[in-house]
Amino acid sequence: MPDNVNAIPEGYEGVTPYIICKNAEGAIEFYKKAFGAVELFRIGEPGMVGHAELKIGGAIIMLADEHPEMGALSPETIGGTPVTLMIYVEDVDTFTEKAVAEGLTVLKPVADQFYGDRSGYFKDPFGHQWSFATHIQDVSPDEMNQKAKEMYG
């Protein structure tokens, strides 16, 4: 990777996802082992996570157990998710190898992408989809558009 390329592009730290899990306690433990997440805090009754916050790399993720009465349902309950959570990491290969060893499922293997990232797509045991990437090359929007046309016609 060239010295002048930031592995985590400036400006990609602003959105804080709030994910719902059927087993938030299990998800927290999985994210700690697989992603190196740091638990910032947690509230709730014994056996129920009302709200928790984790830091994964430079990103904050909020999560809680399902609360059907509030419409807060997990991907397991609704049969999937239309959302992919995307996080830049310093070394996507090392990061995802560890996560897969802990139980993350590969949907699309890590590879160099035409838009300047080395990335892959994954699904965790709780139904959430993730993309992890390392930025390896700065590519202008015009270059991306041209490369996309070449790839997809």
Three-state SS sequence of the chain: CCCCCCCCCCCCCCCCCEEEECCHHHHHHHHHHHHCCEEEEEECCCCCCCEEEEEECCEEEEEEECEHHHCECCHHHHCCCCCEEEEECCCHHHHHHHHHHCCCEEEEEEEECCCCEEEEEEECCCCCEEEEEEECCCCCHHHHHHHHHHHHC
- What's the pLDDT score for residue 59? 87
Query: Which domains does the chain possess?
Result: 18-74+82-152 (3.10.180.10)
Nearest residue to 20 (alpha-carbon basis) of 83, 73, 56: 73
Going residue by residue through the chain, which has 153 residues, state the pLDDT in tens, using 9 for 90 and above. Answer: 677 888 766 655 567 899 999 999 999 999 999 999 999 999 999 889 999 999 998 888 999 999 999 999 999 999 999 999 999 999 999 999 999 999 999 999 999 999 999 999 999 999 999 999 999 999 999 999 999 899 887
Nearest to 115 by CA among 93, 149, 138, 131: 138
> Cβ(74)–Cβ(67) under 8 Å?
no
Give the whole-angstrom CA distance, residue 61 versus residue 23. Answer: 16
The identity of residue 142, as a single letter, is: D
